[in-house]
Homo-oligomer: A and B are copies of this chain.
């Protein structure tokens, strides 16, 4: 392996000088810079990030903490979108990102968790979908041992930022448009999780609309489960005019149930996942740009790691309808 020392020798300069051009320090003359770069190219030198990290005490390592299979079943594309968005942005920023699943750290207590991330030399975390019940993880965030960006959860502090769409508003808007178009007043609202941050926000949006329009809405908790939404639909849909769900997956569950029940009720979703294209009907939903959210989270984490302080970031959403042919082309 060719090292900085070889480059120095080849270029006829000191090691420290090479280091300086490598990290483009200001005080290097054009001339030596050229010499060094020539040597680097000639030798095919590639800086050793490990050594760099050890010396500088900056690893640039970041973990993307995800909950696979809690929101949903096997086909959940949302985590994948987060991964794609985060990894691409991390590469762009020269950060080193690693993916961690909730299940991998579920059994740990705070100390173990801290050690786990420290042993990996991780400086920052992006946590997707932290819930109120993730006590340990929340303690970890509060400990301020790491810079953290929370996706879809509150908790801004000096070292923690939060990033999300305006769930309340989005739910309000999509439900309003949906109900308006279908002219319904008796609705079944299938909520997400009890104690889930986004679930509660969306529920609030629904309640606001209900109050404003004087709707009759029956609220049930679907736990973001397609199966649960199916069951609730079978149980309650007949006496309702429309079904509004706090997630697309539940909306699909509801729609499939309606088809099996052989009755029709309009269904409204939330998230804008492409699976909606397979549900058979074009449903109203809210589109979140998950890749964009994750990319933003990486940017924000990078800012925190450079000394910035936490903030709350609200990203835009769109009201859309998804159809099969759009999804596959």
Measured in the bound complex, the distance between the Cα atoms of B274 and A159 in whole Å is 40
* A252 surroundings in chain B (CB, below 8 A): 278
Report the minimum CB–CB distance from A296 to chain B (whole Å).
19
Report the interface size for chain A: residues with CB under 8 A from the other chain.
Answer: 55
Bound form: Cα–Cα A59–B49 in Å:
11
User: Cβ of A134: which chain B residues have Cβ within 8 Å of it?
Assistant: none
Looking at chain A's contact residues, the main secondary structure is: helix
The chain B residue sitting closest to A277, CB to CB, is: B75
- Nearest chain-B residue to A94 (Cβ)? B119
- Please, which residues of chain B bring their CB within 8 A of the CB of A47? 119
In angstroms, Cα B50 to Cα A46, docked, is: 17
Structural contact, B230 and A328, CB atoms closer than 8 A: yes
Is A143 an interface residue, CB under 8 A from the partner?
A: no
Chain B nearest CB: distance from A167 CB in Å? 22
Number of identical protomers:
2
- Proximity string of chain A (251-282) to chain B, C-beta cutoff 8 Å, 1 when within and 0 when not: 01100100000000000000001110011100
| Separation of A278 and B273 alpha carbons in the complex (Å) | 14
Taken residue by residue from 232 to 267, chain A's Cβ proximity to chain B (1 for < 8 Å, 0 otherwise) reads as 000000000000000000001100100000000000
Q: Which of A97-105, A183-191, A201-209, A299-307 contacts B (4 or more CB under 8 A)?
A: A97-105
Assembly CA distance A26 to B87 (angstroms): 41
* Nearest chain B CB to A48 CB, angstrom units: 7
How near does chain B come to A13, taking the closest CB pair, in angstroms?
A: 21
**34-63 of chain A: CB within 8 A of chain B:** 44, 46-51, 53-54, 59
The answer, yes or no, to whether A20 is at the interface (CB within 8 Å) is no
Pick the residue among B51, B84, B91, B103 that contacts A68 (CB under 8 A).
B84
Chain A interface residues toward B at CB < 8 A: 44, 46-51, 53-54, 59, 68, 73-77, 79-81, 83-84, 87-88, 91, 96-101, 103-104, 111, 115, 118-121, 225-227, 230, 252-253, 256, 273-275, 278-280, 324, 327-329
